[in-house]
Amino acid sequence: MNDIKPLAGKKVAILATNGFEQSELTSPRDALLNAGAEVDIISQRGGEITGWSGKNWADEVKVDKTLDEVKAEYYDGLVLPGGLINPDTLRQDKNAINFIQGFFSDNANKPVAAICHGPWLLAEAGVLKGRKVTSYSSISTDLKNAGADWVDEPVVVDNGLVTSRNPDDLPAFNKKVLEEIREGRHHA
């Protein structure tokens, strides 16, 4: 293993659309790139997507691939940034949900990380039953209703699934994302 670039050779997808929380996409992306991973920003359409910061639209991020160009099997891990608009839009997209489910299939069990409102997508994908998770507090009931064991902690790891509450948790979140992707597939 390369200690300088511990994720060299790993390929990670970040699934997002307009309205993603700016820091929740850029901070994990930068941590992954610095660790040597190849990162693709995946969205519904090509071009650029616009982030959200505070009460305003933020920076644009280039989309590398669209959902119709990718499959979970192409990647070693998945990151789901939050924001309010981003996951609410994506959870209504069948292709986005199918992509997410591919990381949880019996023969996959790849690391997945979701922060803030990002776990809404995991509830929609039906992959939370019996899993310990955290999220932005306003969606805790939704996650519990999806079968999750919700806790209020900065970062929670459950068999390769990493979840966090908000941008303040990004240092702990990023550290666990890198660890889980370095470890690779998890066996239930």
**Cβ atoms of 11 and 37 closer than 8 Å:** yes
The one catalytic residue in 116, 121, 123, 148 is: 116
Pairwise CA distance, residues 114 & 165, whole Å = 9
Burial 38-55 (b: 16+ CB within 10 A, else e): ebbbbbbeeeebebbeee
**pLDDT tens by residue, 107-139:** 788 999 999 999 999 999 999 999 999 999 999
Pairwise CA distance, residues 143 & 124, whole Å = 9
**pLDDT tens by residue, 57-115:** 999 999 999 999 999 999 999 999 999 999 999 999 999 999 999 999 877 889 999 99
Section 173-182 average pLDDT: 97
Alpha carbon separation from 138 to 5, 63, 103, 142 (Å, rounded): 37, 29, 25, 9
- First-residue to last-residue Cα distance in the chain: 25
Give the per-residue pLDDT at 17: 98
Section 52-59 average pLDDT: 95
Half-sphere exposure of 178 (CA within 13 A, CB side): 22
Give the per-residue pLDDT at 106: 76
CB-based contacts of 12, cutoff 8 Å, min separation 6: 32, 37, 38, 39, 40, 75, 76, 77, 78, 79, 181
Whether the CA torsion 166, 87, 177, 144 is positive or negative: it is: positive
Pairwise CA distance, residues 28 & 89, whole Å = 21
181 an active-site residue? no
